[in-house]
Chain A
Amino acid sequence: MVKAMAQPNLTAGSMYSQSARLIFKRHRSLIIQPILIIALSVTLAIVLSNATLDVIEQVTINPTFIFAAIKDHLILSFASAAIIMAVAVPAGIALTRQKLKKFTPLVLILANIGQAFPAVGLLILSGILFGFGKPVAIFTFAAFGILPILRNTIVGLQEIDPFIIESAKGMGMTARQALRQIELPLAVPVILAGVRTTLILTVGVATLGVFVNGGGLGTLIIPGLKLNRELVIVTGGLLTVIVAFTMDWLARVAEELLRPRGI
């Protein structure tokens, strides 16, 4: 009614095309992103297959080595992101419940400490204590990335208008029903933004896996740096970007699908 008054001459047709445009606008970056990712990958592949490599570059710039590194990198980042989500989302929900609210500051401080640790130091220390390999890398990366998603979950739930929850209860919903049917759906966008941040973060941090026998794209970047082979560094860096972009895209698609209608 308000809208109609503001734009009294709006016809049904132009209204339709406007909303179509809005949908395209909203999804444009979702369509452009995979095209960019593919273009970047193809360009990299073409450049690498035509490059003349010296003996040092040949060790790392070959399909077997690169695909193994990508595979390890995906394992490291997905596994640590999964642990983060499995821990941080339930913890975030629990910490916004009436009974546990008082612990929120304490837990946030702990999560902050986890993130403030120097990553390489924490990694090597954990490796010496618990054994070098992928598991140690994954758990350390997880400890490192819990904060953003925990905070997003808490903030997402806290930002819901208390009147909405009140009225849900007024309609006879139990606290659990209100959480499941009202609070969580409303908090989904904020929580998912946290998931995206976490995924990108873990893809970046996973390059440190090379220090603890975790593999990953760091196996290109670190020796590339130490032996001054720019092609190797750039390849490792670009592949990390490609993996991060792909993860980001998947998370955004998930966000579109999971976001409750009308928000």
Chain B
Amino acid sequence: MQVKSHKVVAVAAAIALAVVGTLATSSSANAAGTSLKGVKITVGSKDFTESIVLSKIIKQLVIANGGQVVDKTNIKGSATTREALVKGEIHAYWEYTGTAWLVYQKQTDVNISPKDMYTKVAAGDKKAKVKWLPMTSFNNTYAWAITKANATKYGIKTYSDLAKKLPAGSAWCVESEFQSRPDGWAGFKTKYGISDSNIETKVLDTGAIYQATKDGQCMVGEVFATDGRIGALGLMVPQEDIAYFPPYNAAITITDATAKKYPNLVKVLSPIAGKISNGTMQNLNARIDVLGEDADEVAKSFIRAAGLVK
């Protein structure tokens, strides 16, 4: 009897949910502004501008559709953010395919196309109960930057040129995380045949590398390909002629529980990725890092400009 009554309650609840779900879907088709009514999620991000502004886009889009968001953006470090998601402390954030592949799923083969990597990563994450929404076309991979002036002076067009044409003792600036990653500094030196005796390695804070490269304290700086400061500070990224860095396309990762609870949320968030190219991303980053605009404001204006809300 006891069991039966539980079953009845469960069935009733399921019906109620289904009804509410249908209602919500039908309303989203007509009126932007209320389709996420009743949705309450916590959005996280890693501790750098791009990750923050991307998550602010989720936040602003959910709010614009009538939902509620707890903002937990700017969590220190990739792995800490990921753990927060897996533990359910946050419900969504943007992850990069390459990071998930190498760091969380502990894979080592990086010679695969962005699409294949996305498929494999999404499949592998089913175990962790994490759902991957569509990925962006932009690829925020690690990159090397050099000033345009130095590129001309030394005839630098490719990463191989960086390895071979720069004067002995040139300073390469890397961030401490990059120094410790399997897809980081040591692997790059091996792949491009750079010997430690020929160069100087400086370990700096991520944010300081751009300015230090512009100032000449670093001949070569480890940067992110979509960072707005590359263009703003007169730096350039040579061609990666020997494939080394894995693809780092971004996608919203969301807990299975949240995706199930709010099917509409998935529908609203999925189109974001298609609207952000490398150039768009550099531009969004530059507005914050170079022009000093507020990340929330940038996100708000982006969802309007991209036609995600009317």
Contact = CB atoms under 8 A, between A and B. Distances in A.
Interface of A: 54-56, 59-60, 120, 124, 127-128, 131-133, 210-213, 215, 218-219, 222-229, 232
Interface stretch (B116-124, B172-180, B289-297): B172-180
Contacts of A226: 76-80, 176-177
Nearest to A225: B77
A235 B248 CA distance: 30
B176 A127 contact: no
13 contacts: A55-B108, A56-B103, A56-B181, A56-B182, A124-B205, A127-B204, A128-B212, A132-B202, A132-B204, A218-B176, A223-B177, A226-B77, A229-B180
Contact of A120 (B173, B182, B205): B205
Nearest to B99: A227
A124 B215 CA distance: 13
Nearest to A130: B217
A166 B197 CA distance: 65
Contacts of B186: 59
Interface string B159-176: 000000000000001001
Interface centre among B78, B182, B204, B207 (most CB of A within 10 A): B204
Interface in B96-153: 103, 106, 108
B180 A132 contact: no
A128 B208 contact: yes
Interface centre among A55, A124, A218 (most CB of B within 10 A): A55
B83 interface: yes
B180 A213 contact: no
B77 to A, nearest CB: 4
Given A60-B180, A227-B79, A227-B180, 20 more contacts: A56-B103, A56-B180, A56-B182, A127-B212, A128-B211, A132-B173, A132-B208, A212-B204, A212-B205, A219-B176, A222-B176, A223-B176, A223-B179, A223-B180, A224-B180, A225-B76, A226-B177, A227-B78, A227-B177, A228-B77
Contacts of A131: 217
Given A227-B79, A227-B177, A228-B80, A128 B215 contact: yes
A111 to B, nearest CB: 26
B76 A213 contact: no
A211 B204 contact: yes
A228 B186 CA distance: 19
Q: Is chain B's interface secondary structure helix, strand, loop, or mixed overall?
A: helix
A262 to B, nearest CB: 51
Q: Is chain A's interface secondary structure helix, strand, loop, or mixed overall?
A: helix
B12 interface: no
Interface in B203-221: 203-205, 207-208, 211-212, 215, 217
Contact of A225 (B80, B106, B211): B80
Nearest to A211: B205
Contacts of A211: 204-205, 208
Interface centre among A210, A222, A229 (most CB of B within 10 A): A222
B176 A228 contact: no
B176 A210 contact: yes
Contacts of B77: 225-228
A60 B177 CA distance: 11
Nearest to B83: A228
Nearest to B184: A59
A215 B182 CA distance: 20
Nearest to A219: B176
Nearest to A224: B180
Contacts of A227: 77-79, 103, 177, 180-181
A226 B180 CA distance: 10
A125 to B, nearest CB: 9
B171 to A, nearest CB: 9
B191 to A, nearest CB: 15
Nearest to B215: A128
Contacts of A215: 203
Nearest to B201: A213
Contacts of A224: 180
A216 to B, nearest CB: 10
A70 to B, nearest CB: 16
A225 to B, nearest CB: 5
